Amino acid sequence: MRFGPQVYRSGALFPYLWIDRSCFVYCLYRGTTVVIPKFDIKNFYSCIQKYKISFIHGVPPIVLALAKYPDLKYYDISSLRMILSAAAPLGKESSEEFHKILKIPIKQGSGLTETSLVINLSSSDNIVAGSVGDLVPNVEAKIVPVKGLELGPTEGEICVRGPNIMKSYLNNDEATKDSFDEAEFFHTGDIARVDDNCN
C-alpha cells in the first residue's frame, strides 16, 4: 500500500498499541501526523484547513460533532477524503447522516487490545453504512448465542481466532480460560449481527 503526500489526523484517545499504528506508521507512508492535546472542534477544523488533512481517525461522538458543527461552512475541508470511526459503534443512521452532510466516506473498524486492535475494517471501495466491514486477513470469526439474551438468528457474540489474538492474560489463568473456547476462539464480549453479504 502506498499513500501520497497526505496529512493524517486522529481525534481519538489511544491505547498504547494504537499509537504506533496511527501516529507513527503514517509517517512511514509519506504522511504527516497532526496531534492536538485536547479536542476542540474549532481548533480541529482549523487544523484540517491549515494542514490540509486528508484522513482522520475518530470516535463516534467526535465524528457526529464534526457533522453537526454550525460553523462548518466557514472552513475549507476540501482536503479531507476519508474518516475512520472506531472504539464504539457508529450506527447506520448516524453514518448516513454524516455522509449526507460532509460528503466524505466514513469507514469503521472493530477490535480490542486482546486482538492486536483490529479484527474488522471497512474496505475503502466497499463501505456499508453501519458496518465494521470484513475480517482482516488471517482472522476467523464466528457468531455464538449469548445465554440470557434474545437475539435474532444472525446475531450473537463475536468470537475470533488468528495469529493476532493474544495467548493469555498475564498471571490470570482463570480469565484466560474463561475467554477462550475449546476450539481456541477468543470471546470478545461484543454483540454483532451479520447480514446476507457478511457485513
Distance CA 50, CA 75 (A): 10
Report the alpha-carbon distance of residue 157 to residue 193 in Å, rounded: 9
In degrees and rounded to multiples of 5, residue 140 shows phi and psi of: -105, 150
Q: What pLDDT shows up at residue 22?
A: 57
Dist. CA 135–CA 112, nearest whole Å? 14
CA–CA separation, 52 vs 124, rounded Å? 20
Q: In this structure, which amino acid lies at residue 37?
A: P
pTM (predicted TM-score): 0.78
Nearest alpha-carbon partner for 180 in 134, 87, 110, 114: 114
- Residue-range domains of the chain with CATH: 1-136 (3.40.50.980), 138-199 (2.30.38.10)
DSSP state of 20: I
Residue 180 CA to residue 152 CA, distance in Å, equals 23
Full pLDDT tens readout for the chain, 199 residues: 344 556 555 544 455 555 555 566 666 665 677 777 788 999 999 999 999 988 888 889 988 898 899 999 999 999 998 898 888 889 999 999 888 888 998 999 898 889 987 898 888 788 888 888 889 999 999 999 998 888 888 899 999 999 999 999 999 999 999 999 999 999 999 999 888 777 7
pLDDT digits (tens, 9 = 90+) for 70-95: 999 999 999 998 898 888 889 999 99
